[in-house]
Structure 1
Amino acid sequence: MEIPDDHRRLGRPIADFVDELGSEHAYDRLTVLIPEVEPARWWQRALQNRRSAVIDRALRRHTGAVVCRLRMRM
């Protein structure tokens, strides 16, 4: 599924989608799982982006969904 956005934003369009999904299923609890790669070495962390933090912050501010960030060591 594609979530379109003219300005290439990430957090707010996903939050709007989750909020819309939550309004369709009002009696269910939505849980959003955000996978993250945790590099094994310290210097590799600079190469990783912070998209998961942006998504996490937007979902916690604008939705009532439960957000879980899953960190996986590589």
Structure 2
Amino acid sequence: MLTVDRRFSAQHVSTSNLNYAQRSTFDDLADEGYGLLFIRSTTAGKVAVCSSGNQLVTIDQAGSLNLQPSIDLRR
């Protein structure tokens, strides 16, 4: 499980740090009201964490969407 501090939600995160596949997936999510919270570097590559209200989703290096990621945000 990934634990993340909520202070990241107050920062603007640029989509320029996403690869083409991630940006394409994120653009579709943004149309649905999602925002980019942060990008985490992992051993498998960069993972984008996005949210809409209390719903969190992740986008992996290949642009695949995980609608039920195992993430715990600290408040």
Q: TM-score category by the smaller chain?
A: under 0.3
TM-score, structure 1 normalization: 0.27
TM-score, structure 2 normalization: 0.27
The structure where helix makes up a greater share of residues is: 1
Higher relative contact order (CA 8 A, sep 6+): 1
